Amino acid sequence: MENLLNTLAEKYNTDKKKSVHNYTETYFSIFNEKRLYINNFLEIGILDGSSLKMWRDFFTNAQIYGVDINPNCSKFEDERINIRIGSQDDASFLDSSFLQKNILFDYIIDDGSHISSHQIKSFEFLFNNCLKSGGLYIIEDTCCSYWKSHQTDDDPKKTCIEYFKSKIDEINFYGFIKNEVYDRNNKYLLENYPNPTEFQKKIKSINFLNSLIIIEKF
């Protein structure tokens, strides 16, 4: 099957295309079947607007939203591309732009600053409040977790990669308790995960790929 998404990526010259990051191969495999049924799509990070145009042409029935801190990105707005200017790690901005307007997204992609603290803050707000049940939250270029230039904290355990590694443990320990399949007398489980948070209960799966993390919501 022809990869329509990569064809569009080539047309608009976004670095998601096969010859650069090749994210389009992964995205086509998970998006193609549902692409006509997507209502709202958000991408953090606009740059030259090329990927927003790709998404607009791929998700033909969706409203496409883009977030960027650069006010010049407003020029990329059109009938189906909606631009919001602000910082991805500013919860009040995200709240006023989306939550207060009752906008829920089918898919969210973070291709913004690639700074770990920004990626984590955006995820915690948008995943909890603005992603539909069954939706996907994707963080791109997670290779930056290994670069000091993209960290705001000297602690290597506070990178985006390490943050989501910890979520793997939370998901699995919650599963042990919820299904009552494993030993309920396990002292470690009972002391450390007696009551999963609402946030933990919303994560269905986490998939790690090369430079991508894909999180599915219950």
Q: Is 114 a catalytic residue?
A: yes
Single-letter amino acid, residue 167? K
- State residue 213 phi and psi, 5-degree precision: -125, 130
Residue 184: Cβ within 10 Å count: 10
HSE toward the beta carbon, residue 36, CA cutoff 13 A: 1
Q: From start to end of 48-202, where are the E strands?
A: 63-68, 81-85, 105-110, 131-140
Structure tokens at 194: 């007696």
Q: Residue-wise over 148-177: b if at least 16 C-beta within 10 A, else e?
A: eebbeeeeeeebbbebbeebeebbebbeeb
3-class secondary-structure state, position 13? coil
Active-site choice (21, 114, 118, 150) = 114
Q: Which of 99, 140, 139, 135 is nearest to 217 (CA)?
A: 135
Which residue pairs, CB below 8 angstroms and at least 24 apart, start in 25-28? 26/209, 26/212, 28/3, 28/4
The total number of residues shown for the chain amounts to: 218
Active-site annotation, residues: 114
